């Protein structure tokens, strides 16, 4: 399957909302910050960063809820209007053009392992990270970790 023809679908738990990414994401974050731990009720959040116009809503409605974020600038979380499962976010810092799709809502989440682990300073100690994936204590510069193709796509935003 080529990058351009790849189509990746997902949805919420009640099945009212279905969406798809029309290409591979730019990059996948596994975030171990306390905010993601609280929002997910788990140890980390897995987010696929992708251009907003490459996320198509196929069915149902999302409700966008303003939510505080670690940066203090806030995030807009799109949730199914029925079951309230979070599907993606836009962060104020990254702008409306970039979405953080919750990888766990994709039909085939195994396809998108993390490209980087971030905020590992607050990683839960039982989570063991593979040496083969970059990991940073807080955040990072995209220019140092993203593939050239993804940097070019981001520059086009």
Total residue count of the chain as it appears in this document: 157
Write the interaction track for Zn ion spanning residues 63-82; mark x where CB under 5 A is met and - where it is not: -----------------x-x
Does 33 bind Zn ion (CB under 5 A)? Our answer is yes
Q: How far is the CB of 136 from Zn ion (least distance, A)?
A: 12
Does 28 bind Zn ion (CB under 5 A)? Our answer is no
Give the bridge partners for 8, in sequence order: 21
Question: Which tokens is 95 given?
Answer: 């702008």
Residue 64 in contact with residue 80, Cβ under 8 Å?
no
Does 94 bind Zn ion (CB under 5 A)? Our answer is no
Q: How far is the CB of 75 from Zn ion (least distance, A)?
A: 10
Q: How far is the CB of 152 from Zn ion (least distance, A)?
A: 26
- Burial of residue 55 (number of CB atoms within 10 Å: 0-12, 13-18, 19+): buried
Which residue from 16, 94, 136, 142 is in contact with Zn ion, where contact means CB under 5 A?
A: 16
Work out whether strand 116-118 and strand 27-31 pair parallel, antiparallel, or are unpaired.
parallel
* Nearest one of 27, 19, 3 to 107, comparing CA atoms: 19
Does 36 bind Zn ion (CB under 5 A)? Our answer is yes
Which residue from 31, 48, 87, 101 is in contact with Zn ion, where contact means CB under 5 A?
A: 31
Work out whether strand 62-67 and strand 75-80 pair parallel, antiparallel, or are unpaired.
antiparallel
Does 57 bind Zn ion (CB under 5 A)? Our answer is no
Report the interface residues with Zn ion, using CB under 5 A.
Answer: 12, 14, 16, 31, 33, 36, 80, 82-83
């Amino acid at each position: 399957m080529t990058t351009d023809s790849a189509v990746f679908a997902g949805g919420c738990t009640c099945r009212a909302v279905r969406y798809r990414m029309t290409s591979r994401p730019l990059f996948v974050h596994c975030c171990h910050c306390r905010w993601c731990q609280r929002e997910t009720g788990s140890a980390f959040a897995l987010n696929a960063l992708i251009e907003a116009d490459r996320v198509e809503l196929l069915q149902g409605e999302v409700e966008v809820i303003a939510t505080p974020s670690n940066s203090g600038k806030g995030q807009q979380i799109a949730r199914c209007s029925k079951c309230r499962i979070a599907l993606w976010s836009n962060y104020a810092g990254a702008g409306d053009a970039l979405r953080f799709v919750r990888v766990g809502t994709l039909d085939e989440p195994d396809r998108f392992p993390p490209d980087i682990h971030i905020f590992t300073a607050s990683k839960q100690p039982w989570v063991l990270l593979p040496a083969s994936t970059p990991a940073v204590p807080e955040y990072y510069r995209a220019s140092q970790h993203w593939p050239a193709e993804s940097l070019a796509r981001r520059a086009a935003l």
